[in-house]
Amino acid sequence: MSGGVDSSAAAALLLEQGYDVIGITLKVWPQDCVTRSEDRCCGPEAVHDARGVSHQLGIRHYLMNEVEDFQKNVVQYFADEYKAGRTPNPCVLCNEKTKFGTLLRCARQLDAEFVATGHYARIDRETTPGRALLRRGRDPRKDQSYFLFSLQQDQLHRTLFPLGDLTKPETREVARSCRLNTADKEESMEICFVPDNDYGQFLTTTGLVQKQRGDIVDQQGQVLGHHDGVAFYTIGQRKGLGLSSPRPLYVVDLDPATNRVVVGDGDALDRDEFLVERCNWIPYPAPPARFEALTKIRYNHSGTPATVTPLADGRAQVKLHLPQRAITPGQACVFYQDDLVLGGGWICRATGG
């Protein structure tokens, strides 16, 4: 329970369905969130709201300190990816390692059979005997299945998503009908542990990344300017380059080995082929030799048709039917067949044109 309306409504719905519900809030950040620009899911106000909802619902509530695991599995990963010239997606790792990793272990200690969250996604246990399938949430505007693609079968089998068939307005109505004090609470769309969504400032003030002066070059290697480190840039970035040019320039490549930021025209961002690594396949133990799928290369991407060829080393070759802009190493690439999540992996290298 994060103290928001989604997890609050999820708890209320489970009670209505006859479940014995326990509320758990994970403390994942060591600093006092009162001093930050916003109070997020790790802060005192959020904990207070989660406890208040638990009291209203008449359920037990536990606050569990998972600062060390979160720091190692999510925050350190976040920094390491940027230093390696990749753009991370910490929400996927938080789900895999914390909410459905650490939290599942906590559930076992409390003799709880399932872990439930306020995600807008659905678990299908009926279609394929013995396997739990992951499907999009009914509300396309709130669907969060993209962030859950890396969950394994043992995690999916022990997971409940009570909000999977609801829209956000319907969720708020559930909370209002139960008179929960989180019913009209605003939600944050930013990374929960990064104040003001300024990841560069976060990386430097926490000491996770040190500034390292390097060259900004064009695709022919000509030096156009300088930067403070590849960790502070991402593919497709245009603002903040500090360059004077008669035409718009974008970051088209990051080379951590030489500490170079490569810039070019917008056309240089278009790619139609790339590799993904550390793939997870949900509907089947082993994927087909080749298949067609709607492919999302980032969360807010609408998806595009692609031919996917799984490889023997946990990677897959992705051939897009139409080139896409700013395919970014480090981002999750998720494959769909209608509303079914086939699986996904992590973008590791862009090729083709």
106 included as an active-site residue: no
Catalytic residue, from 33, 42, 178, 192: name it: 192
DSSP 3-state of 75: helix
In sign, the C-alpha dihedral spanning 288, 294, 297, 299 is negative
Cα separation, 49 vs 11, in Å, equals: 13
Phi, psi of 172 (to 5 degrees): -65, -35
Parallel, antiparallel, or unpaired for β 260-264 and 214-217? parallel
Cα separation, 91 vs 98, in Å, equals: 10
279 included as an active-site residue: no
- Cβ atoms < 10 Å from Cβ of 264: 16
Catalytic residue, from 42, 94, 178, 333: name it: 94
Parallel, antiparallel, or unpaired for β 223-227 and 291-296? unpaired
Instruction: Quote the tokens at residue 89.
Output: 């997606």
In sign, the C-alpha dihedral spanning 110, 159, 190, 250 is positive
DSSP 3-state of 98: helix
| 211 contact partners, CB below 8 Å, separation of at least 6 | 204, 228, 229
- Cβ atoms < 10 Å from Cβ of 351: 11
Please identify every residue annotated as catalytic: 94, 192
